[in-house]
């Protein structure tokens, strides 16, 4: 019984690769998100976070394409894309224009 548990632990032990992936994801999200929170105005955080998640999803998709047997990376890239879309949806067009420093022109009110 003990020998079977030992072989099960050896087969299912977390690998060094999973730790490296966790460290990569932490660096891809944590450091830029911290800098964005400290440096950007509050109304610019959602557009910037959306762009950050889209770029991280692209990086993970490239890594998953190279390492095709790892399905988890595809799942995480998809999750980043979905959260990036949600951040883009919740941000307003004026906030995105402020992020790219392009003034938004309001059309004049004309009666119908």
Other Cβ atoms closer than 10 A to 76: 19
Tell me what percent of the residues of the chain surpass a pLDDT of 90. 0
Instruction: Determine the Cα–Cα distance for residues 64 and 72; give it in Å rounded to an integer.
Output: 8
Instruction: Determine the Cα–Cα distance for residues 12 and 71; give it in Å rounded to an integer.
Output: 17
Give the model confidence (pLDDT) of 56-67 as tens digits. 888 888 877 887
Q: Could you identify the residue written with the tokens 């990036």? A: 84
Give the model confidence (pLDDT) of 15-49 as tens digits. 677 677 778 778 878 888 898 889 888 888 888 88
CB-based contact 77:60 (threshold 8 Å): yes
């Amino acid at each position: 019984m003990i020998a079977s548990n030992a072989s099960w632990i050896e087969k299912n032990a977390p690998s060094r690769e999973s730790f490296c992936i966790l460290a990569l994801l932490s660096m891809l999200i944590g450091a830029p998100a911290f800098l964005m929170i400290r440096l950007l105005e509050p109304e610019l955080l959602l557009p910037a976070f959306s762009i950050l998640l889209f770029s991280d999803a692209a990086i993970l998709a490239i890594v998953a394409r190279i390492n095709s047997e790892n399905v988890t990376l595809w799942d995480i890239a998809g999750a980043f894309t979905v959260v990036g879309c949600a951040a883009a949806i919740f941000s307003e067009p004026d906030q995105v224009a402020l992020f790219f420093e392009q003034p938004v022109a309001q059309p004049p009110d004309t009666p119908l």
